[in-house]
């Protein structure tokens, strides 16, 4: 039996900017990237079978999207988070 070592090399990608797919502006706010990220791998039965959609909306355009969706009777499930990313129990809101 041969035992070998696997050398793991971590690949780090540095993202310089994220651009809004609607308005074309930067999604960088106060040194942080603030963007609504959406991604869908469309499957069989959809008009876009075998297509991967991927994009970002800046906070302003995400707000416009939310307003548009609500005007059509839709909604977005929004949960309040703590500073460390934990979901706040709705009974505590």
* 50 is a domain residue: yes
Q: Which residues share a beta bridge with 57?
A: 36
The count of structural domains within the chain is 1
* 36 is a domain residue: yes
* 20 is a domain residue: no
Q: Which domain holds residue 67?
A: 28-92
* 72 is a domain residue: yes
Q: Which DSSP helix (H) or strand (E) runs through 67?
A: helix 59-71
* 8 is a domain residue: no
Q: Write out residues in the chain with pLDDT < 70, as ranges.
A: 1-9, 11-13, 89-93
The model's pTM is 0.69
* 40 is a domain residue: yes
The string of pLDDT tens digits covering residues 22-31 is: 999 999 988 8
């Amino acid at each position: 039996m041969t035992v070998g070592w696997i050398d793991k090399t971590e690949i780090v990608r540095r993202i310089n900017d994220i651009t809004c797919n609607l308005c074309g502006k930067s999604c960088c706010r106060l040194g942080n990237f603030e963007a609504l990220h959406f991604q869908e791998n469309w499957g069989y039965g959809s008009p876009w079978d075998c297509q991967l959609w991927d994009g970002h909306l800046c906070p302003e355009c995400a707000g416009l999207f939310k307003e548009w969706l609500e005007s059509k009777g839709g909604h977005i499930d929004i949960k309040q988070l703590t500073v460390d990313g934990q979901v706040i129990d709705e009974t505590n809101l």
